[in-house]
Amino acid sequence: MSATATPIKELQKGRPGERFQRLYRQRQDSRHGPAKNAAFFAMGVLTIALGILTYPIPVIPSDLVILVGFALLAQGSRRGARGLDWLEVRFRRRFSDQIKTWKRLSRAAKVFVSVAWTSVVSTLFYIAYRVAASFI
């Protein structure tokens, strides 16, 4: 990783199926690589847990928080990096039409879809919570 390149730019430059492993190797080869990997692993686990805990709250985009957690986790683990690269290839293959549609949307449309998705999923989880709570 060059001195001026951010991890996001490094991920964007990489080819699908190799991005996370490449970033992991670059970080591992850096001066404080093992310590950075441990920190990314710990932050990834905490971020995923936070995303799961905030899922019933409509305002918080928990899906994105969980995805960020997995990305952090992958940066701190060789196995996680391999897993995310594997998932990315399959995700792109399976959802290529939807990805093309998403890229064509305006920023306002993307915000609307994201808010609508978060609202629908949060509502469903809240309903599931209320139903489960009624049995206890």
Separation CA 79–CA 58 (nearest Å): 32
Separation CA 60–CA 2 (nearest Å): 34
Q: What is the pTM of this model?
A: 0.55
Q: Which amino acid is at 5?
A: A
- 23-68 pLDDT, tens digit each: 788 777 878 878 888 888 899 899 999 988 888 777 777 888 888 8
Separation CA 71–CA 80 (nearest Å): 9
Percent of the chain clearing pLDDT 90 (strictly above): 15
